[in-house]
Structure 1
Amino acid sequence: MTELLAKTIVCATSVFLIGLALGAFVLPERIASFLNSFASSARVHFTEMLLRLTVGLSFVAISEEMTFSRFFELFGWVLIITSAILIVLPWQLHKRFADLVVPPLTKRVWLFGLLSLPLGLAIAASMLIA
């Protein structure tokens, strides 16, 4: 049951990244608004961290069954560790960082598409090929 849940979460992550990429090309203003909302409040911050932890744990749990298993295991651990750090730091630090870094990137939201699409497709392919 736990394995099925982890696989479902990883598949949903793939779909999310592909959708984010397509949205970046088709609805860039909407995707920019979505990205700019990250860390906008304590509630959003902790929701984001919970989602990141869940996704990271899911990647670690099923990475052995995926093609490029070491890469996806490392990816999962990066999500887990960075989320854990952000959870213990005051959420306002995350907000300050997001306010500094995200707006310049959302001016070129198509870059998110160029990064999200290959990652989403690689996750999907890795699950299908394994």
Structure 2
Amino acid sequence: MPTPPPWLELPALLVVVGVGLYLLGLGLAALLAPRLASRFLLGFTSSARAHYAELFTRVLVGGSLMAAAPRLAASGVWAVFGGVLVATSLVMLCLPWRWHQRFAQRSVPAALRHAAWVGVGALAAGAGLLGALAVGAEAQGLSAG
């Protein structure tokens, strides 16, 4: 896997940390306040502007995962996941945003009927991502300790 240019590495790692924290927060919200989590997730399809902001964020996150992957444990997994995020976002960009809205209006409430599983999954993903970053930094001798 190619190493990103040095100027891109720190911003990508900061985005990865933000995503890990976001997933932890989403997991807690799904477990402790599922209605709030549902409103939050449905907000991404409330308008065309929100839809395109979500797509931009997904491309940013996916690209950051791919750029930061060499610094993460299980780098191939994170690079592929980042690539999938970018690819699916580009496909969604070609579709009418109302399709995304209709899909979310059906799938988010259905998924949050199992809010405990969504919460545990988001917590596991956030912890896994932050753990991969910590293990990768330790393996490369980059930890502060």
- Given the two structures, how large is their TM-score scaled by the length of structure 1? 0.94
How far did residue 108 of structure 1 move?
2.6
More moved, 63-72 vs 102-111: 102-111
Larger radius of gyration: 2
CA RMSD across the alignment = 1.1
Q: Which one of the candidate residues 66, 73, 80 is aligned to 2:79? A: 73
Counterpart contact for 1:39–1:95, Cα < 8 Å: yes
- Structure 2 residue identity aligned to 1:70: G
Q: Which residue of 2 aligns with 1:27?
A: 33
1:121 aligns with 2:123: no
Match of 1:7 in 2: 13
Deviation at 1:38, TM superposition (A): 2.5
Gaps of 5+ in 1: none
Q: Which moved more, 1:101-110 or 1:59-68?
A: 101-110
What is the identity percentage for the equivalent residue pairs of Structure 1 and Structure 2?
33
Match of 1:108 in 2: 114
Shift of 1:109: 2.0
State how 1:10-89 maps to structure 2 within 5 Å. Answer: 10-89=16-95
TM superposition outliers: structure 1 runs of 4+ over 3 Å: none
Bigger shift: 99-108 or 43-52? 99-108
Aligned residue pairs total: 130
Indicate the larger mover: 105-114 or 85-94.
Answer: 105-114
Deviation at 1:105, TM superposition (A): 1.5
User: Which SS does the other structure have where 2:45 is aligned?
Assistant: coil
Check conservation: 2:46, 2:101, Cα contact below 8 A. yes
1:52 shift after superposition: 0.3
